[in-house]
Structure formats: structure tokens, C-alpha cells
């Protein structure tokens, strides 16, 4: 056989979503973590678009996440976790943790981010959960993070810990060791298939080689717009998936034709938001507060559209949507996650009220 005949072209994100993901939606909703789908998506280049930090690359990462989110928010959220980790590593000035960048960008290694608590801590909403002290060529770290996703034993995640003098350090931790124990001790109403665990950090040693940023105060303003903008991929994907679900339901479409929000209007609003995301991606590296507030407003608008669209699908499907296991109800439960994951609607509205 000629060598060229044996080469299988890599599958596209659309093919992986259609062939691997769509048949497993119910299982993932029930708690199956789609690790093989994530690896296939990595091989398709899903996690590598934004490594260089160009606006086009950031938008391509958001769009790829959106393609998965049209079918499944659990998978889209796992993509975001991975994308966020890649984003930190790619923007880090430290050579040590950057040794992992290639493996995370191509999906050979998978991991997550424990930055909800730090994001809330930066907004003065809650104290930082991880504390550390300088010890030798590294830091001794302890604390507990209630939820970190895309984690099974052996996966890495990024966390932020505070020093006694108030400075903060960001580093990479390996989940599922004696010093960084994980436990799956909750059942969620959705997003069960995201490998979400509680992390208990018990005197873990963070060597300098795994420090992403010794000075978080300088690093976070450089990554925060991208971190939040990436999340719009999962929200916009869900919105488009809901519009498609409504359109494919011919009987419901006819009966619900006078409902206030139909699929055409949902798609039009999603397109306007995507244009705003594209414009915001151009400014992602700007570190000023006004730009970040614009990013948060955009993220808020994506959350609100996700909620409205999913609610609209429920109204169209009526009792069929109200049956256990229905698609519109899965999308409604997922849409609520878009709105409660950090930065949540509650968090963003607090920030915007302060700025007013
Ligand atoms: C399925 C799932 C997966 C998740 N995955 C991750 C992950 O991968 N990484 C990660 O870091 N996190 C993750 N999280 C956490 C998530 O992002 C939220 O931080 C978490 O759900 C709690 O947020 P909350 O807004 O409900 O805070 P709450 O639990 O409501 O609040 C926490 C504390 O802050 C106070 N507070 C909250 N909001 C305000 C406000 N506006 N003003 C003043 N005080 C306030 C509360 O009173 C409370 O003391 C996950 C959560 C879920 C459910």
C-alpha cells in the first residue's frame, strides 16, 4: 500500500462533535467525563488557537468551543478549563511551567483552573482560599478549593495562593496526590460530566519550576480579558444549539410562533454578541479596568441571552420539554451554569454597580 493511502486526515471539530459527542449527550449529562472526546478535540487543534495571543486566534478558540457547546455544555466547559490553562501558560514569562504548554495545547495532557475563588477574592467577595509560605526554591501551600473541573488524578490545574505579606503566587498543581487530594462529593443538576472535584491542598510543595507567576498582581490583568472572553464560546454555542433545537421542532415552532423569542431572533442576537466578542478580542491585552468592565458586560449579556434562549425553548416545547430527560430541560439546566460560573451574573452585577 502506498504511504499516502495510509494517512488519515485529522478529523475536524464538527466531525468529532457529530460522531463522538452527539451520541453520548445523555451519558455525559448523567456524569460521564468525555475524556476521549477532549483528546480528539485536542488533536484537531481546538486548544492551540490562542497560544500566540492574536485576536484571530482567541476568536478561533471561542468559536471551536462554541461548536462543542451547540451540542453539550459539559464538553464546552471542559474545553474552557483546558483553554484557560493553556492561556495562562502561554502568557507566563516563566520557562518552568511553559514546558507543559505543548502537551496541553494539543490535548496530550488535560487540566483545569481553580481561579473562581481568586477572581472573587480580587473583587473583595471572599478571601483567597489557598495560603503559602516561601520555602527553599518554592512555596509550601495549603487550603481547599470547593470545585475544580476537568480533573482526574494526574491532571494539572492552576491555582493562586497568598503569602503572609499579601503578595500572591500562581502555580501548577497535580491533582490526586497525597498533598493535593481530590474528592467528587457532590451531584450537580447539570455539568456532571465535567470531572468536577473538591481539591484539598495539604502542605503541597510548589517548586519554582511550576510557578506560572511570582507576582499575580502584575500577571492577572494581562490574562483576565482573555480568560473571561473565552467563556463566551460556551455561552454562544449553547444559544445556537437552543435555536437549532427550536427550529427542528416543527410542530412546536408552529404552535409557538407568537412566543416573544424565536430561533431567528436568538441567532440574530448571538451574531451581534459574537461581533462584540471579535471586537473585544482585539483589545484583550489591555490591562486597564475600563476594558475589563467592558469584557464583564459582554460576558453578562451572553449569560442573559443563554438564560432567555433556553427558557424560550422550554416555552415552545411545553410539556414535552417538561419530561425528565428532555433536551430543552438539559439546555435550561446548562444555561443556568453559564450564569452562575465565575464570573457569575451576581458577581458581574456587583462589579458593575461599584463602577457606576
Ligand atoms: C459544576 C461546577 C463546576 C465548577 N468548576 C470550577 C472550576 O473548574 N474552577 C473554579 O475555580 N471554580 C469552579 N466552580 C465554582 C464556580 O465558578 C463558582 O465560584 C461557585 O459555584 C460559587 O460561586 P457563587 O457565585 O455561587 O458564590 P457563593 O457560593 O454564592 O458565594 C461565596 C461567598 O461569597 C459571598 N458572595 C457571593 N457573591 C457575592 C457578592 N456579589 N457580593 C458579596 N459577597 C458575595 C457569599 O456570601 C459567600 O460567602 C464550579 C462550580 C460548579 C457548580
Average pLDDT over residues 188-211: 98
Cβ(275)–Cβ(324) under 8 Å?
no
Q: Is the pLDDT of residue 5 over 80?
A: no
Q: Convert the pLDDT of each residue in 50-85 to its tens digit.
A: 999 999 999 999 999 999 999 999 999 999 999 999
Does CATH number 1.10.540 belong to domain 13-105?
A: yes
What CATH architecture applies to the domain 111-215? Beta Barrel (2.40)
How many CB atoms within 10 Å of residue 127? 11
pLDDT category at 228 given cuts 50, 70, 90 is: very high
Q: Is the pLDDT of residue 169 over 50?
A: yes
Q: Convert the pLDDT of each residue in 97-138 to its tens digit.
A: 999 999 999 999 999 999 999 999 999 999 999 999 999 999
Q: Convert the pLDDT of each residue in 312-342 to its tens digit.
A: 999 999 999 999 999 999 999 999 999 999 9
Q: Is the pLDDT of residue 3 over 70?
A: no
What element of type H or E holds 142?
A: strand 138-148
Average pLDDT over residues 13-41: 98
User: Helix 216-248 and helix 73-91: axis angle, to 10°?
Assistant: 150
pLDDT category at 9 given cuts 50, 70, 90 is: confident
Cβ(85)–Cβ(112) under 8 Å?
yes
Three cell numbers written together for 73: 455544555
- The gap from C-alpha 160 to its chain's centroid, in whole angstroms, comes to 17
Q: What is the pLDDT of residue 10?
A: 83
**Mutational test site, ligand 1, from 29, 73, 125, 152, max ligand atoms within 8 Å of CB:** 125
Q: Is 162 left (phi over 0), alpha (psi -120 to 50) or beta?
A: beta
Three cell numbers written together for 76: 464546552
**CB within 6 Å of ligand 1 — which residues?**
81, 112-117, 120, 125-126, 147-149, 188, 191, 194, 196, 340-342, 344, 346-347, 350
Cβ(45)–Cβ(108) under 8 Å?
no
**Which whole-number Å values give the CA distances from 259 to 251, 322, 335, in the listed order?**
14, 17, 19
Where in the chain are the domains? 13-105, 111-215, 217-355
Relative to the CA of 150, which ligand 1 atom is closest?
8
The dotted CATH code for 217-355 is 1.20.140.10
Amino acid at each position: 500500500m502506498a504511504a499516502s493511502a495510509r494517512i488519515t486526515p485529522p478529523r475536524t471539530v464538527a466531525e468529532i462533535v457529530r460522531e463522538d459527542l452527539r451520541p453520548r449527550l445523555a451519558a455525559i449529562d448523567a456524569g460521564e467525563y468525555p475524556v476521549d472526546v477532549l483528546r480528539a478535540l485536542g488533536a484537531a487543534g481546538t486548544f492551540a488557537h490562542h497560544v500566540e495571543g492574536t485576536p484571530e486566534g482567541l476568536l478561533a478558540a471561542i468559536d471551536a468551543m462554541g461548536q462543542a457547546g451547540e451540542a453539550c455544555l459539559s464538553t464546552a466547559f471542559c474545553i474552557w478549563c483546558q483553554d484557560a490553562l493553556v492561556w495562562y501558560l502561554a502568557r507566563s514569562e516563566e520557562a518552568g511551567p511553559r514546558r507543559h504548554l505543548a502537551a496541553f495545547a494539543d490535548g496530550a495532557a488535560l487540566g483545569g483552573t481553580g481561579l473562581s475563588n481568586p477572581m472573587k477574592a480580587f473583587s473583595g467577595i471572599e478571601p483567597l482560599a489557598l495560603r503559602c509560605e516561601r520555602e527553599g526554591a518554592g512555596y509550601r501551600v495549603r487550603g481547599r478549593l470547593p470545585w475544580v473541573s476537568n480533573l482526574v488524578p494526574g491532571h494539572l490545574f492552576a491555582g493562586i495562593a497568598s503569602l503572609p505579606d499579601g503578595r500572591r503566587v500562581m502555580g501548577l498543581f497535580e491533582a490526586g496526590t497525597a498533598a493535593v487530594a481530590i474528592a467528587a462529593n457532590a451531584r450537580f443538576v447539570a455539568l456532571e460530566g465535567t470531572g468536577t472535584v473538591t481539591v484539598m491542598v495539604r502542605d503541597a510543595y510548589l517548586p519554582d519550576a511550576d510557578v506560572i507567576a511570582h507576582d499575580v498582581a502584575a500577571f492577572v490583568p494581562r490574562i483576565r480579558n482573555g480568560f473571561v472572553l473565552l467563556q463566551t464560546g460556551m455561552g454562544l454555542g449553547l444559544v445556537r444549539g437552543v435555536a437549532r433545537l427550536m427550529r427542528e421542532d416543527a410542530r412546536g415552532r408552529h404552535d409557538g410562533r407568537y412566543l416573544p423569542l424565536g430561533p431567528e431572533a436568538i441567532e440574530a442576537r448571538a451574531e451581534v454578541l459574537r461581533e462584540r466578542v471579535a471586537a473585544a478580542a482585539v483589545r484583550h491585552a489591555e490591562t486597564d479596568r475600563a476594558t475589563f468592565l467592558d469584557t464583564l458586560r459582554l460576558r453578562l449579556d451572553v449569560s442573559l441571552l443563554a438564560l432567555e434562549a433556553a427558557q424560550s425553548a422550554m416555552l415552545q416545547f411545553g410539556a414535552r420539554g417538561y419530561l425528565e430527560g428532555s433536551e430543552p430541560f438539559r439546555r435550561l439546566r446548562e444555561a443556568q451554569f453559564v450564569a452562575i460560573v465565575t464570573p457569575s451574573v451576581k458577581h458581574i452585577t456587583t462589579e458593575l454597580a461599584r463602577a457606576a
